[in-house]
Amino acid sequence: MLLIHGIGHRRQMWDPVVARLNGDFDTVSVDLPGFGNSPPLPEGDTPTPHRLADHLETVLDELGWSTAHLVGNSLGAWVSLELARRGRASSVCALMPAGLWRSTGGVGHQRRKALFAMWTNGTRLPMAGSLIRNAAVRTPVLFGLFGRPWRIPAADAVGDAENLRTCDFARTMSALDGTRFEGGAEISVPVTVLFGGRDPLIRVRETDLGLLPDSTKVLFERHLGHVPTWDDPDLVSRIVRESTP
């Protein structure tokens, strides 16, 4: 099972669920190029979802996995769907998937950019790392990005903020402009999609489920934010487990 984080995040987002999945799967969580400990793609090599999928195909080849159960969050879900289109998935569990928007512009796109700008700019404020250690501070600051921000351990919140401040965010975000996922009809493996009621970035009403296979299973949980693994690790682990054939 390959676990793929979203834009601005890092592989540690999966820590709450990995222990719950390891009894059933060999799990590998990765840092996408330019995030966490992974160097960015070279200058001039634009980090589009297609190029990120190319990179992860290399990872799958190095692991000796012709296919894997793919679990992705946000941009990671988009990349998971692209890998499934290429025949590299046994199943896909897409948590709050990016790339399925009805329009590549409009109010939804502007809202996503504004929220990410708020979060990324916040990480550049003096003493941001120290302030975010306090659950009373990070709860209102990170609400929406997480449905229950107070559940994130302080050290993880600080690490996430530092990653967001230093990662290849702007270039990757720019690479998504004017694009969306295509080719869902080519996917022949089970696909499960999860949406969260506390997610201001990916909303069901702004999503074109027609871009996915007709057999796609769609779930909705009101208490989950955009990054749901800390919100309810037991629920997310169960959904991931049940998404596999």
CA–centroid distance for 19 within its chain: 19
Dist. CA 165–CA 187, nearest whole Å: 35
State the pairing for strand pair 191-196/89-95: parallel
Looking at residue 50, the DSSP 8-state letter turns out to be: H
Inter-axis angle of helices 106-122 and 154-166, to 10 degrees? 110
Segment 106-162, tens digit of pLDDT: 788 889 888 988 888 888 888 788 889 999 989 998 999 999 999 999 999 999 999
Count of CA atoms in the C-beta half-sphere (13 A) of 118: 14
pLDDT at 105: 79
Helix ranges, the chain (H): 15-21, 49-63, 75-85, 106-122, 128-132, 135-142, 154-166, 169-175, 233-242
- Which pLDDT score, from 0 to 100, does residue 194 have? 98
Q: What is the pLDDT of residues 187-233, one digit of tens each?
A: 999 999 999 999 999 999 999 999 999 999 999 999 999 999 999 99
Report the distance separating Cα 148 and Cα 192, nearest Å: 23
CA atoms within 13 A on the CB side of 207: 23
- Contact, 191 vs 168, CB < 8 A? no
Spatial separation of the C-alpha atoms in residues 55 and 73, rounded to whole Å = 17
Parent domain of 31: 2-242
Instruction: Look up residue 118 and give its two tokens.
Output: 């708020």
The SS3 assignment for 70 reads strand
The pLDDT assigned to 131 comes to 87
Residue 89, beta-bridge partner list = 68
What CATH number should be reported for the domain holding residue 116?
Answer: 3.40.50.1820
Neighbours of 112 (CB within 10 A): 21
* Burial of 145: CB neighbours in 10 Å, binned 0-12, 13-18, 19+: buried
Q: What is the mean pLDDT of the chain?
A: 95
Instruction: Examine the pLDDT at 32 and tell me if it is beyond 90.
Output: yes
What domain count does the chain have? 1
